[in-house]
Amino acid sequence: MISLNGSSFLNNSRYGVSKSIPQSHGRVQAPMVVSASSSNGRPGDRNVAVLKESTKRDGSPVIEVDPKSTVAGGVEDVYGEDQATEDQSVTPWSVSVASGYSLLRDPHHNKGLAFSEKERDAHYLRGLLPPVVVPQQLQVIKKKPQPSGHLICAFIIFLILEETTNDLSIVMLFTKQIKKLMHTIRQYQVPLQKYMAMMDIQEMNERLFYKLLMQNVEELLPVVYTPTVGEACQKYGSIFRRPQGLFISLKEKGKILEVLKNWPQRKIQVIVVTDGERILGLGDLGCQGMGIPVGKLSLYTALGGIRPSACLPITIDVGTNNEKLLNDEFYIGLRQKRATGQEYAELLHEFMTAVKQNYGEKVLIQFEDFANHNAFDLLEKYGTTHLVFNDDIQGTASVVLAGLMAALKLVGGTLAEHKFLFLGAGEAGTGIAELIALEMSKQTEAPLEQSRQRIWLVDSKGLIVRSRMESLQHFKKPWAHEHEPVKTLIDAIKAIKPTVLIGSSGVGRTFTKEVIEAMASLNEKPIVLALSNPTSQSECTAEEAYTWSQGRAIFASGSPFSPVEYEGKVYLSGQANNAYIFPGFGLGLIISGAIRVHDDMLLAASEALAAQVTPENFDEGLIYPPFTNIRKISAHIAASVAAKAYELGLATHLPRPQNLVAYAESCMYSPNYQNYR
Ligand SMILES: O=C([O-])CC(=O)C(=O)O
Ligand SMILES: [Mg+2]
């Protein structure tokens, strides 16, 4: 690998890979870059040699040094390396072929999506680009000018470059950079423009991106995460600039191990993978779902302290059933209907096998935004052979249980004394229901089946009851209790009389005035959780929940809402989002060297999160702590998860550190600049 200097530093967010070959070979395959691995050459040395390219009779390229650029000694010894005496210093020039990740970041040679299939194979690009190959002409059309956004983006790039050349101390420089960048980002009116600006910063200067995000977490989380990331996925085709993460499509069948090897980092600790079929509550976005693994992994670093270089976002592209995308000429994914059944299972199996083979047993694979029918099966199938975690089933369950544990301090009673009604019986709904039942059983020592009787679910066909058993999907069956059929949510509320109402259906505006009023008439302090994302899919808004319950609801939502004023009082609502859990949960698995995920670890994470809600938070009606202290919160979650891994004999990092909170904190990535010599 060549060492980076000069402009290559500034153009690489982290660094790229190149294959180095000695200059003396004389002829190489294009595209080539010439680089000096140190700058201690004689006066007159330049960072880039002047080369002439010609073609031999057999068509192969020959690279010659231009005679005019020689300093003495002729063509053969252009920089005097051969003639130098021992006391003279020389510059060790090397010539390398740009390939893979660094080729895509080399503006001179990059062709983006126009690289052909053959070129992708020859230059280690497979997987680094989405599967579509587009002609240059389509790339030109796509580059239609964007509203004022680009001007500001250009300004951001200028800010990053300008500040790094200033003669300030590193700390002052960082503070100044952050202040200026935040000022610039705040000038955007459109959230998607803020998102694009953040992605540009991430690409240009990774440490600055994380410093910015960590210092302004409350303000920037809605930009890099829900709700804006949802819009970014919907418009990915037109905002797409540089590919992030690995794309593994059906075209890569049989070659997945090779594709993993094209990724420039070797030591991967966390993979977030989606197949794009159920992106938030937005449905099938195919290959454009890549925004989700990228966003989740940014949070793994910013909130959980996992090194960015240890994170790998992956999108598996098996096609899409989204007609709009299939007819969109700028769609970046495979233009075909989703593969299912054996074809799907085989690709996923090859992927899971290749990941373990390449990164070992302790790499965490987080499944994200798969559709119900695959999510449950994958978790069950690989739960005993891999370190897998489904964020939508398990992460959401853990965060909601934490919120409920905290809410009980406000409303009183034990879990078993409450009654729960869900709207939505998919991954989130049944995952949460099962974890509540598990915790209830632990507390009461009652059988799981008995605890489940306190929990009811409504799906698109009405209340899940015993008479529907035959036609229910397997993950709904445990919730089919004895009851006469009930068609609507409002009738289910009247019949079941729940104290807690949880929305997890992915469908917005379903907690109507009538629904909230019914909950408020049954309970002094109804607990209402509107979990679906992004904001457009939320079951109700914070304002609706507080207004329709006359300020009595204990409310939290999956996507953030601003504070609400109702009859002169300001109400803050918490964000019941798995972002509280997965970064700390993953960190706990990593620092203990865990090899499997166990449900007791999820309960441990819930308890740790609930314990972080302060009396001041409760006074404000909050059942989650603010995100401002998230790194501290994550350290506590990580410590509890790791402790459980040791207790269960699932940890391999031995001996067990004494103080797990301090150990977790000491393992966290810091985005502060390092000094280069
Ligand atoms: O991404 C989020 O905000 C939470 C989540 O996992 C989902 O809604 O699928
Ligand atoms: Mg999700």
CB burial of residue 436 (10 Å; 0-12, 13-18, 19+): buried
Q: How far is the CA of 280 from the centre of ligand 1 (A)?
A: 5
**Cβ of 578 below 6 Å from ligand 1:** yes
Whole-number Å distance between alpha carbons of 652 and 492: 48
**Cβ of 277 below 6 Å from ligand 1:** no
Structure ipTM: 0.99
**Which tens digit of pLDDT belongs to each residue from 574-633?**
999 999 999 999 999 999 999 999 999 999 999 999 999 999 999 998 999 999 999 999
The answer to whether 296 is a known catalytic residue is yes
CB burial of residue 429 (10 Å; 0-12, 13-18, 19+): buried
Please check if 368 is assigned to a binding site: yes
CB 463 within 8 A of CB 492: yes
Written out in words, the top-level CATH class of the domain with range 225-390 is alpha beta
Report the atom number in ligand 1 closest to the C-alpha of 531.
8
Backbone angles phi, psi at 530, to 5 degrees: -105, 95
Whole-number Å distance between alpha carbons of 443 and 454: 14
**Cβ of 530 below 6 Å from ligand 1:** no
Backbone angles phi, psi at 610, to 5 degrees: -60, -35
List the chain residues with pLDDT less than 50. Answer: 1-3, 15-29, 38-52, 65, 67-73, 143-151, 163-167
Q: What is the residue-wise DSSP string for 458-517?
A: EETTEE-BGGGGGGS-GGGGGG-BS-----SHHHHHHHH--SEEEE-SS-TT-S-HHHHH
Whole-number Å distance between alpha carbons of 192 and 319: 26
State the amino acid at position 676 in one-letter form.
Answer: Y
Report the atom number in ligand 1 closest to the C-alpha of 292.
1
Q: How far is the CA of 396 from the centre of ligand 1 (A)?
A: 8
CB 268 within 8 A of CB 595: no
Looking at residue 529, the DSSP 8-state letter turns out to be E
User: β-strand 462-463 against 500-503: which pairing, if any?
Assistant: unpaired
- Write out the two tokens for 116: 């052909």
Asked if the bond preceding 31 is cis, omega within 30° of 0, the reply is yes
Q: What is the pLDDT of residue 238?
A: 82
Q: Looking at the CA of 396, which ligand is closest? A: 1
Q: What is the pLDDT of residue 47?
A: 37
Per annotation, catalytic residue among 210, 225, 236, 646: 225
Per annotation, catalytic residue among 296, 382, 644, 663: 296
Task: Name 34's bridge partners.
Answer: 95
Mutate to test the pocket of ligand 1, among 223, 290, 577, 580 (most ligand atoms within 8 A of CB): 577
- Write out the two tokens for 414: 């034990």
Find, among 361, 256, 396, 238, the residue nearest to 315 by Cα.
Answer: 256
Greatest C-alpha distance within the chain: 96
Nearest CA to ligand 1 atom 8: 280
Find, among 613, 639, 642, the residue nearest to 627 by Cα.
Answer: 613
Whole-number Å distance between alpha carbons of 509 and 521: 20
- Write out the two tokens for 114: 């126009």
Q: Where in the chain is the domain with CATH 3.40.50.10380?
A: 225-390
Strand ranges for 558-618 from DSSP E = 564-566, 569-571, 574-575
CATH of 394-576, one of 3.90.180.10, 3.40.50.620, 3.60.15.10, 3.40.50.720: 3.40.50.720
**Cβ of 577 below 6 Å from ligand 1:** yes
Q: Where in the chain is the domain with CATH 3.40.50.720?
A: 394-576
Strand ranges for 68-196 from DSSP E = 93-98
Q: How far is the CA of 223 from the centre of ligand 2 (A)?
A: 16
Please check if 369 is assigned to a binding site: yes
What value does the CA radius of gyration of the chain take, rounded to a whole number of Å? 28
Q: How far is the CA of 208 from the centre of ligand 1 (A)?
A: 25
Location of structure tokens 């609507």: 488
Q: What is the pLDDT of residue 15?
A: 43
Cα–Cα distances (Å) from 200 to 30, 88, 90, 272, 306, in that order, read 28, 43, 38, 21, 21
- State which H helix or E strand residue 457 sits in: strand 455-459
**Which tens digit of pLDDT belongs to each residue from 48-97?**
344 445 555 555 555 554 544 444 445 677 777 788 888 888 888 777 88
Q: What is the pLDDT of residue 98?
A: 85
**Which tens digit of pLDDT belongs to each residue from 558-591?**
999 999 999 999 999 999 999 999 999 999 999 9
Q: What is the pLDDT of residue 13?
A: 62
Nearest CA to ligand 1 atom 7: 280
CB burial of residue 565 (10 Å; 0-12, 13-18, 19+): exposed
Find, among 85, 59, 80, 61, the residue nearest to 69 by Cα.
Answer: 80
Cα–Cα distances (Å) from 122 to 31, 261, 262, in that order, read 11, 14, 11
Nearest CA to ligand 1 atom 3: 226
Whole-number Å distance between alpha carbons of 128 and 314: 10
Nearest CA to ligand 1 atom 9: 280
Please check if 459 is assigned to a binding site: no
State the amino acid at position 515 in one-letter form.
Answer: V
User: β-strand 554-557 against 574-575: which pairing, if any?
Assistant: parallel
Q: How far is the CA of 248 from the centre of ligand 2 (A)?
A: 19
CB 517 within 8 A of CB 546: no
HSE-up of residue 487 (Cα within 13 Å, Cβ side): 0
Please check if 110 is assigned to a binding site: no
Whole-number Å distance between alpha carbons of 322 and 325: 5
Whole-number Å distance between alpha carbons of 34 and 25: 13
pTM of the model: 0.88
CB neighbours of residue 69 within 10 Å: 14
State the amino acid at position 401 in one-letter form.
Answer: L
